[in-house]
Structure 1
Amino acid sequence: MTIIKELSKSDFAFVDEIPEVLQPDFHQFIVGHTMSNLDGRTITYDMKAYYKKLMHQGTYYSIHWKL
């Protein structure tokens, strides 16, 4: 979650920097939101909203962390 928190502090974030375990959740969240390309990488301007969603609602599926 620390990575998402750090990404949410910027005006935009590179989608490929979102941890793999959260990629399906993020892709479901981002439907209908604006995405762009910068230097051949996909970026989003909605990382703050995604971070809020994770903190208040969690993911759309259960995550089983390896300890």
Structure 2
Amino acid sequence: MSKRYLVFAGDAAQPSGGWDDFLADLSNLREAVEFARANTADDLAPNWAHVVDQETMKIVAAFRNGTEVTAY
């Protein structure tokens, strides 16, 4: 069974697109948010990430360079 939250991330200059930007699925929103934040926090990591709730199919959190953003 699939977990509820999907994390997508990539480099804004060279996004892979769609499922190619998929990183992980997690059951818990807090864990998904922390995973997304951690995976955009350093210079070698992707510089953006989205957390998608599979039940609503909406982005519930977004990050750029380790900082949560509201516009995505």
TM range (shorter): under 0.3
Tell me: higher relative CO, structure 1 or 2? Use CA pairs within 8 A at least 6 residues apart.
1
- Give the structure with the larger strand fraction: 2
TM-score, structure 2 normalization: 0.27
Say which one has the larger Rg: 1
- Give the structure with the larger helix fraction: 1
TM-score, structure 1 normalization: 0.28
